[in-house]
Chains A and B, each alone.
Chain A
C-alpha cells in the first residue's frame, strides 16, 4: 500500500503538459530509431543522452525511457511490415508477423503485436511497482562484498545463460571492464592503461562504444546483406483494430505465460531478445496445432511481443533497485543516471523518491502513449523506410558521428566510434555478444570499487565473499549460473539416453 501512495506521488510529478510533450517526443523518436536500420534502442538512447545533460533528471529519464518503449514498438513494426527486425529482440516477431501481414491482415498483425506488447509492458511496470521498494529495502543491507557478488551474479548469468559460446561472452565482457579502467583511476587518481595516448586520459565513454558497436557495426552488416525493403503497404483501419482487440482475450494464456518469461528474463540479465525467442518456442511447444506457426499464427505474434516488452520494462527493476541493469539499453540509461549525478541502487529510493516514482509512473503513461502513437503513425514510419538507403544511410552516419562528438567535444571519439564499428561488425558476424561488453563498461568502475573496498575490509582475503550467508548465497548462485551450460549438458545427455532407451527408433 505504501508503494501505491508513492506511485500516486509519482503520477503527480509526471502528469504535466511539459512531461506529456516529452513523452510524445520520446516515443516518436524511439519509434524512429526502432524503425531505422542501424539505429536501435541502445544507440538511440546514447545519441539522446548528451542532449539531456542540461535537463532536470526527471524530465531526462522520462525522455530516455519513453524513447526505449518507442524503439521496442518501432522494432516490431518493421518486423511485421518489412520482415526486417528493427531490434534484435523483435526477430521472433518476424516468424509469424510478416506472414500474417503478407496475407492481407497487416492491421491485425500490428494490432496484435502492439496491444500484447502494451500488456507485457504494463505487467512489467506493475511488477516493478509491487517489488521495487522491497528489493531496494533488501539491498539496503548490502555492503561492498554483497554488491560485488551481485555484479558477479549478473555477469555469471550472462556467461552461463547467454546462449553464446561462454568464452566469447567472457572475452567480450572483460574487454568492457578493461575499457572502463582506461583513464583516471577513481581511487588513486593515477592514470591507467592510457599507454601515453593523451586522448585516452579522459577515458573511453560507454556511449562511444555503443554508437560504434551497435550503430556503425549494424550499418556495415545491413549494407553487406543488401537492403531490400519490400514492405507491405498498409493503412490502419479502425474497424480492424477493434475486431482484433476483441480477439485478444483468446490469447490470454499465451500472453500470460510469455509475460512471466519476459519478467524473469528481464530481471535477470538475459534480456528481451532471449525472452522473446523463449516465449515463442514455449508457446509453439504448448500449442494444440503447431502447424500454423511460421505461417501467421496469432499466438506466434503475441508471445514474443509480450515477452519482449515485459522483459524490456522489467530490466529497469534491477537497474533502479540494485544498480545492475538488465539490458544494454538499461545499462546506457544507468550510465545517464550517473552522469546526471544520481547513484542507481537502493539509496536512490530514499534520496530521490520523486525521481524513482516519477519514472515508474511515466512507464505506465509512456507505454499507453506509445501504443496509441504507434498505431496512429505506422503509415508515416513505413513511408520513412521507403526512402532509399543512399539518403538514409549517410544521415544515420552523420547523426551518429555528431552524437559522438557531442559527448566530450572530441574528434578522437569519432575515430573511436569507427574502430568500435569495425569491431562490432566482426563481433556480430562471429557471434560475440555485445551487450555484456556495454554492461561491463557501465558497471566497470562500480564493480571495481566494490571489489577494492571488499579487499580493504578483509585485508586482501577473497574469503570475504563467503563471510556471511547473504554474500555466500549470492556468490553460490553466481557459480551455479556459470556452471549452467555444463549442468544443462549433463541433464540433456541423461534425457537423451533415457529417451533412446524408451524409443530407439527416434533417437538420433
Chain B
C-alpha cells in the first residue's frame, strides 16, 4: 500500500505562486482554523464546496522501505466524508443531546508550514500545511494530535473554498478515545 498524496514530495513547488496568493491561502486556512476552534461548524461548512472530500486515512504500520506514511483509499479510515456526511456530523455535534459537547470541547488548531502550488485545474490550488491540534475536555482530559494536511482549494465567486482535504497523522493506533473534532 502506498500513499495517494499528490504532494511534490519535499521539492519546492515547480511554479512559484504569487506571494499575494500565498498570503490569501494562509489567511483562509487561519480563519478556517479559528472557526473550528470556536466550534462555529455551520460557518465552517459554508467554506466547503458541494463536492468536497474530507479524508483522514488510518496510517498503516508495515515493514519495508519507502514512504513512511502508508495509506490507501481502499482501506478503513477515520474520516471519509462528503458534504452530506459532514453536515450530519455537524448536526450531531450541535444537537443539544451531543453529550461529548456538554461541557463543551475546547480546542486549538496551530496551522503552519503553509506551501501553495498550482493544482491540475486552473481554478484550484494545492495547499500543504501542518497542524498541531490540542483538545481539552472536562476537567483534565487533554489530547494532542499532530499531522499534515494536503488541501485542494477552489476559487469561486464567494472566494476560496475547500474542495478536498487529506489529513495524514503520525499515529497508527489513535491515542485518544474519540475524534469529536475536525482537522
Partners in one complex: no
Chain A interface residues (CB < 8 Å from chain B): none
